[in-house]
Every structure is written in C-alpha cells, then in structure tokens.
Amino acid sequence: MRNILVALLLTLTLAGSASALEVAGVKLEPSVTVKGHPLKLNGYGIRKKLFVKVYIGSLYAARPLASAAAALRDGSDKLIRMNFLHAKVDKEKIIEAFKEGFANNSPDLAGSAEAMKFLSFFTADFKRGDVVDLALGADGSVSASQNGKQLGTLTSVKLARGVIAIYLGDRPADEGLKKGMLGKE
C-alpha cells in the first residue's frame, strides 16, 4: 500500500511539473487568466533579429486560432507575452519595431494618437528574464505590463487589432514567430 501511495504522489508531482512547457530555458504557462477569463497557449515562437534570439513570443487565446485571419477576426480576449532572452534590448528598438509593425500591417494606425499613446507606455529597456504582457480585451482595451507592473491601458478596437497584426498580419515582424504563435511550428 505504501508503494502505491509513493507512486501516486510521484506521478502527481511529475504531472504538475510537466504542465509548463520549457523553451530556451523559459517556462511557458499552458494557460493564463486575463480579466478573469482563462486563456490557453495557442502557440509560441522565438523572435530573431539576424541571428540574435530577442524574445519568446507567445499567444494566449480563449479558443484555438489556427490562422492569422481567424486571430485578426476573433473578438475575444487575447494575450501576447514576450519573454526576453537577449541580455539587453533598448526600449527605442522595441518602440521602433512596434512603429514598423503598425506601418507594415495597419498603415492607418501608424502615427495616430492611440498608437503614440501605446508606444509611450514603454519607458524602460528590456533585459534577459523580463516578461512583457500585451493584453488585448474583447472590449478593445489594450494593456501593457512589464514584470507584472502595469505600464498603461487604453481602449481602441483599432489599436487592439493593430497590435495583433504586428505579429500575425500580412507583413509580420518575424514569419517564424507568426507560424509559431499560430501553433504551426
């Protein structure tokens, strides 16, 4: 009987630790809660710039999203999580990447007041181990946090679609990251 209990406890312990997926030394949670709504990991990929691994980008969604069109159409809550891998990424580089993403995928949003407000949230550099969350609400809210600290929130359906398009639009920041976030890699 004692052996059965030990085996059961060992099985439960191993099952609990296997729930998080490890990628490049970073544990990705299989699910998160945003605004009281459970979201599941849809997919992930590594954002690379030349040969440098910048961050792991993960997409969490209320339901499976297998295509970019489905993700852009989907009006439910989503979360984009960036787990930074590189030693240091200047905030200017990330802001420039967001600007380029808006210009490439949502040109009517690029340079708009709501895009500029969103970009103003990012006031610090990013370093290895930092976690940046971009929560995209069904109500059009866009919230950004860094390491659990709220950076800012604004409500704009157009901006929420524009942020997801940076990653999943026709001209994404990184094609491999796009495929990964859609669960294709």
Beta strand residue intervals within 50-105, DSSP E:
52-61, 78-84, 88-89
Q: Which one, of 149, 140, 24, lies nearest residue 84 by Cα? A: 24
Domain count, the chain: 1
| Spatial separation of the C-alpha atoms in residues 43 and 53, rounded to whole Å | 17
pLDDT in tens, 115-149: 999 999 999 999 999 999 999 999 999 999 999 99
Asked if the structure places residue 94 within a domain, the reply is yes
Asked if the structure places residue 14 within a domain, the reply is no
Average pLDDT, rounded, for the chain? 90
Domain assignment of residue 105, given as a range: 21-181
Asked if the structure places residue 9 within a domain, the reply is no
Range 21-31 average pLDDT? 92
Asked if the structure places residue 113 within a domain, the reply is yes
| Spatial separation of the C-alpha atoms in residues 81 and 84, rounded to whole Å | 10
Asked if the structure places residue 106 within a domain, the reply is yes
| Spatial separation of the C-alpha atoms in residues 183 and 168, rounded to whole Å | 12
Q: Check whether 101 has a pLDDT greater than 60.
A: yes
DSSP 148: T
Integer-rounded Cα Rg, in Å, for the chain is: 18
Task: Read off the CATH number of the domain in which 136 is found.
Answer: 3.50.70.10
Asked if the structure places residue 157 within a domain, the reply is yes
Asked if the structure places residue 4 within a domain, the reply is no
Amino acid type, 64: P
Residue pair 68/182 in contact (Cβ under 8 Å)? The answer is yes
Residue 49 vs residue 84, higher pLDDT: 84
Asked if the structure places residue 99 within a domain, the reply is yes
